[in-house]
Amino acid sequence: MKAIAMFNNKGGVGKTTLTCNLASCFARKGKKVILIDADPQCNSTIYCFTNELFTEVYYEKNGFTIYNVVKPVKQGIGYLKEVKKYYLKDFGFYFIPGDPQLALFEDILASDWRSTLSGEERGIRTTLIFIDLIRRFKDFDYVIFDMGPSLGAINRSILLACDYFVTPMSSDIFSLLAVENIGKTIKEWRDSFKDGFNRCLDNEFKESFLPIPFIQFLGYVTQQYTSKTVDGIRRPVQAYEKILSNVPAIIEKELIHVVNNRTVGINFELGTIPNFNSIIPLSQSAHKPAFELTSADGIVGAHFAKVKEFKGVMEHIAERFESNMEKL
């Protein structure tokens, strides 16, 4: 089992669309996948949940969300004994829905971080809440987190619990500037936590959490560019091409060399996603993967070719994703 965080501290980069469709692509390839919506904005929940499930969980308040996971720790009574999950047939994966109340856990994690750095058991236990959650799914192939766009305490705790992170990027200058913060921040969190964990004197307590993951950068995906076809190949238009041309060097400098131990022989560009226009809103309305849309979902004319192309893009990203995991 591997845990992967889909993370960028800049919003509006198409992260949720990529995350939900990529998770579904893995599921359709026979992998056992659980997607966890750890973004208080709950975008992947809105995307994936049918109207019936949404009503049951949020209006009737008769369901399980990510807040149920953190609530016992927030109350000071330890980790949740039983974690529930939903199987989403249209996507093919299991799911833990998001909750705006998750944001209430931010201050507790931030406060307990100080005691974590001092080697105190309470702080370490709070910080490692998502490691406990991940280990509930040992029989899964992938545990994937959809995360909010911040460098806050919730995301810190998730990233410390994961094996890898993937950075979706939009084709704008601010997406590149955001990357400069990610690598150095994750390295600082990782190193600081290691020092604090080593300061803890209770070896029996520490052993219950071993092995602690050593998070690595798995790759990036650029998306939302406008493209044109040249010699049968889709290419970004000139304005986007100029921005995209700077991405590899910045990723190498700010992420790969800062976070990773091994870089030789690995292509960290997992893929590129052009603007697929109306099939993404149709996918969101149908609560199903964009690569499985049909005429019943409003697909007509040239949209069929878009659906097929999108499937090819997702399969390519999935292949590169797994190839990099094997090499790292």
Map out the domains of the chain as residue ranges.
2-327
Reply yes or no on whether the pLDDT at 319 is more than 60: yes
The CATH number corresponding to 2-327 among 3.40.640.10, 3.30.413.10, 3.10.20.310, 3.40.50.300 equals: 3.40.50.300
SS3 category, 207: helix
Rounded CA-CA distance 105/102 in Å is 6
Give pLDDT, residue 29. 95
Give pLDDT, residue 38. 96
Q: Name the token pair of 124.
A: 């370490």
What average pLDDT does the segment 239-262 reach? 78
Instruction: Kindly state the DSSP code that residue 210 receives in the 8-state scheme.
Output: P
What average pLDDT does the segment 191-213 reach? 92
Give pLDDT, residue 116. 95
Its pTM stands at 0.91
Reply yes or no on whether the pLDDT at 237 is more than 80: no
Give pLDDT, residue 60. 85
What average pLDDT does the segment 295-304 reach? 90
Q: Determine whether 261 is exposed, middle or buried from the number of CB atoms within 10 Å of its CB (0-12, 13-18, 19+).
A: exposed
Q: DSSP characters for 74-115?
A: HTTS-S-S----EEETTTTEEEE---GGGGGGHHHHHHHHHH
As a dihedral over the C-alpha atoms of residue 223, residue 327, residue 152, residue 64, rounded to 10 degrees, the angle is 90
Which has the closest alpha carbon to 250: 172, 189, 324, 325?
A: 172
Which has the closest alpha carbon to 97: 63, 60, 142, 55?
A: 63
- Please state which of the ranges 10-14, 55-59, 181-185, 225-229 shows the lowest mean pLDDT: 225-229
Give pLDDT, residue 244. 67
